[in-house]
Homo-oligomer: A and B are copies of this chain.
Amino acid sequence: MKLKSVGIKNIKLPVSIREKAGTLQETVASISLHADIPKHYRESCVSTFIAVLNKHQDDMSVNILAKLLAEVQDELQAEAAQLEMSFPYFIEKKAPVTLTASLMEYPCRFTGSVGKDEDFMLSVWVPVTTLCPCSKEISAGGAHNQRAEVNLNIKFSGFVWLEDLIDLVESAASSQVYALLKRPDEKYVTELAYENPMFVEDVVRRVAELAKKHEGIYWFSVSVESFESIHKHSAYAYVDSSEI
């Protein structure tokens, strides 16, 4: 019986992620690294994983992932190697009216494999506001709204920046979410959401339309989980590019 993979799971390391602006961002990643190894998995294999991670932790991007995995594969003479790397990513965001700047945190993930199933995937989790169309329509005043989380996963032919994926998602809901809003900003986002009611499936469809138009993306999946303000459970919708 052939083993699919052996490796390490949930090792935390400081990493530097290449930003769209060209600079490097210092953050902390939780990493899993596996390989398809013909022989017994012993100490040498873990050492290789850790050594290769240490070598590249100062400048991580999707391009470097492929190189890192090729090194793992080469050193272990493995048929294949896979990495998964999750990290909080920070982007300075301006409030919509006062333009006050603040840092927003977005959970992100790189997933890659080299060998028989060569594959790279970028994932972002983006908080947005959803405002319920049904609640607005039937009510004399107000409408229930809530924070929702959009998860977009893509595979790409060209190069795609995390910044661009996050931008794409933020434009697709009832309103955006911020770390810091002053009163004129709060007025703006409240009114924008009220003018722009969307169910979870509306958000999913809108993100999917934008992802479909993006030249660099050849596969994607989108889900939205809305932490309903009038219910204890979440509303949920999902679509992937195979459905379109």
Number of interface residues of A (CB under 8 A): 90
Closest to A105 in B: B12
B189 touches A230 (CB 8 A): yes
B243 touches A1 (CB 8 A): yes
Partner-B contacts on A (CB < 8 A): 1-14, 25-28, 32, 34, 40-43, 46-47, 50, 54, 88, 90, 102-105, 127, 129, 131, 134-136, 138-147, 175, 177-183, 186-187, 189-191, 193-195, 199-201, 204-205, 208-209, 225, 227-240, 243-244
Determine how close the nearest CB of chain B comes to the CB of A29; give it in whole angstroms: 10
B233 touches A9 (CB 8 A): yes
| Cα-based distance from A183 to B138 in the complex (angstroms) | 8
A233 touches B11 (CB 8 A): yes
| Cα-based distance from A9 to B234 in the complex (angstroms) | 5
Closest to A181 in B: B230
Determine how close the nearest CB of chain B comes to the CB of A25; give it in whole angstroms: 8
Determine how close the nearest CB of chain B comes to the CB of A48; give it in whole angstroms: 11
